[in-house]
Structure 1
């Protein structure tokens, strides 16, 4: 589904990503692990086209398009004063004419119905009309995932989606991402700080060190080599 080939990124004179090749199949959750500064988030941003890079990114064998990738971030970018439903509807903005996207009140009925179905999919239909700011961190992240579903993108990129969550909420979000990958046949790439979560929920793990891929395989393989001084990063 998603193929990134030869991705290289420089920040000024410093090369932070070097000739990285990554594939994510439809129906797969791929976890990207590595120490701080290893290039994990840069890989995700280069894949999404958010930072200048060399190399190629294709989806289903064709050049990446603006609606092909949905993003889920560590900082949960919801409009707090709007309802969960309005925030999920925003996932459809890319396919709506401008005059229908100026205010949530103008979202077509079919978009609101689809957004409600997405909230149902993440277990939050009963909170659809609650303000996003009143939801817990884990619930807000699930709303963000529902918004990504409403975008109808075949690829979801999640940049440290559970780093700000408590352990129970982190488990719920990773379980949801894995389930959506498997049942909706999405290609999901998740940058993680927690090797234990990757072992439990990922189908495959890619490890980065100093901007290069140093391992790619089963989620239960040893990852100690990715972390200097054998200090694995764990959720705070």
Structure 2
């Protein structure tokens, strides 16, 4: 569950979020739509702790993980190692260069969940854009997240890959995760999301 109440955020005197509220339950897939500058990405970044809001509150029942438009995988490393990196936050520093067997097993399960267990040892640079995005989602799962925040996860993908990623996000919600995705394609939001939240550009004070 994710509960955002009265979120406010400004950058350089420009108001981006002004009293934004959002509640997402486990098992729900919510799409955020709206024009550029309406604060969609900022809301997710505040929710996951990448930005500090000026006001309001964010409550997460469990752990939230972010999936980005720019996928931020290490291209020279294989898919399995990239997914293992999702566990870094719970490993001691001296174990951060060599992932223990139990982490690698968990990462393999995450890759299997996104349909890429057979590509575990492939370098990420050799994977397609859609496959890379699914690896990024598997990495979020390896953080043991029960809230997935996806910032334009399909905007850089071809239509077939976009459908695969959207279907994966729906499946994750059906499995009990809370999923919030920023989208710029209303037709995808209408087809796949359980609920659509439309955001508008905040009026500067």
How high is the TM-score relative to the length of structure 1?
0.83
Secondary structure in structure 2 of the residue aligned to 1:116: helix
RMSD of the TM alignment (CA)?
1.1
Aligned twin of 1:167: 159
From 189, 193, 204, the counterpart of 1:198: 189
The alpha-carbon deviation at position 211 of structure 1 amounts to 3.3
SS at match of 2:199: strand
Structure 2 portions without partners, runs of 5+: none
What residue in structure 1 maps to residue 179 of structure 2? 188
Alignment of 1:60-71 (within 5 A): 60=61, 68-71=63-66
Q: Helix, strand or coil for the counterpart of 1:47?
A: helix
Q: Is 2:48 the partner of 1:57? A: no
Shift of 1:209: 0.6
Per the alignment, residue 170 of structure 2 pairs with 178
In 2, Cα distance between the equivalents of 1:118 and 1:50? 24
Q: Deviations over 1:188-218 (max 9, x none)?
A: 1100000100011101110001138xxxxxx
Task: Work out which structure has the larger RCO, using CA pairs closer than 8 Å and 6 or more positions apart in sequence.
Answer: 2
Distance in 2, Cα, partners of 1:76 & 1:37: 21
Aligned to 1:151: 143
2:202 to 205, 211, 214: 211
Aligned equivalents of 2:12 and 2:71: distance in 1? 29
Number of aligned residue pairs: give it: 202
Counterpart mapping for 1:34-53 below 5 A: 34-53=34-53
Corresponding residue for residue 29 of structure 1: 29
Gaps of 5+ in 1: 213-236
